[in-house]
Amino acid sequence: MEQISSLDDYLQRINGLHRSKATFTNNYMMAGDAERLISLGRLYCFTNEAGIVFLSDEDTHYRASLHMDTNQSCELPLLDKPLMIQIVYHKDKKKDNHLRIEEQLEANEFVKQDTSVQAKLNVEEHKAEYQKNFDRLYKLVRRMGYRIKAVDFTYRDKIREVFLQQDMMHDWHYPFQTEEEVQAQFEQDGWICVLDQDDRVLAYHSAYEVNSCCYGMGMAIRDEYKVKYGFAPLLQYYRVCITEQPLIYGEVLLHNTEALALHEKLGWKFTNKYVDRWLKNK
């Protein structure tokens, strides 16, 4: 496994691949993404007869970006932590090379962990409705002694406690962030929380904003507050109320039927974009 030393090094390898016979790629890195990983010393690669694999070190796991000739046998190396591969596709449009790469992953002892579908909300169309619903629901929540707000970095450990309690999302769903990047997300109202009178986090929603879009990263609610308190729609309403972006995107796990139903009820539209996540433990 070689460490990528510079952006030129990475781009030269990519340019070489464009002239090769590679028939499948799940490399979604832009030059800026690669440059960030290189500057952090977290981008590697290895080659074999089938092609080249770029590995980003995400701290708890590696994320693999493949450039593969699926007609060739691909053997992936043993690593010191789990390896995650994400494959994006449009429903009913999986090509033969997608199916062949899935066979290769199974042969390499990868297990498909989950599938998510992209959801999209037009903020401009729904903002007035969401504001009205938020005002109504928040009155009830306040009467119960709870409040909602965008929190700062000091709440990080309290949020982590809620994350660890749920079983839908895992560390390998998320990219590595430096302390500076985490703090920047907090400063941009990236984390909104429902808090009790003791300032304990009962539920949260995370997001980041870039290129005139807001991207939801996840939501979690303590088990004992999931059913009757309405925190899930409350967080969705509040996110829409505070964002200045015209569109919000998110991913919803297909096995999370409650979340699928909530997004549909709240006016979100499901696109035809799906993501499969495959994981190989070390």
DSSP state of 223: G
How many domains would you assign to the chain?
2
How far is it, in rounded angstroms, from Cα 1 to Cα 116? 30
Reduced 3-state DSSP string for 87-151: EEEECCCCCHHHHHHHHHHHHCCCEEEEEEEEEEEEHHHHHHHHHHHHHHHHHHHHHCCCEEEEC
Residue 15 counted as domain residue: yes
Residue 32 counted as domain residue: yes
Do 41 and 85 share a domain, yes or no? Answer: yes
Residue 114 counted as domain residue: no
Residue 278 counted as domain residue: no
Q: Which of 109, 144, 177 is the last residue of a domain?
A: 109
This model's pTM is above 0.95: no
Here the CATH number for the domain that contains residue 237 is 3.40.630.30
Domain containing 18: what range? 2-109
Helix (H) or strand (E) holding 44: strand 43-48
Q: Looking at beta carbons, which pairs linking 97-101 to residues 24 or more positions away fall under 8 Å?
A: 97/23, 97/24, 97/70, 98/24, 100/24, 100/70, 100/71, 101/24, 101/66, 101/68, 101/70
- Residue pLDDT, tens place only, 193-252: 999 999 999 999 999 998 889 999 999 999 999 888 899 999 999 999 999 999 999 999
Q: Which of 109, 129, 155 is the last residue of a domain?
A: 109
Do 133 and 55 share a domain, yes or no? Answer: no
What is the number of other CB atoms lying within 10 angstroms of the CB of residue 26? Answer: 20
- Residue pLDDT, tens place only, 36-64: 999 999 999 998 888 899 999 999 999 99
Do 145 and 55 share a domain, yes or no? Answer: no
Amino acid at 270: F
Residue 60 counted as domain residue: yes
> Band of the pLDDT at 20, cuts 50, 70, 90?
low
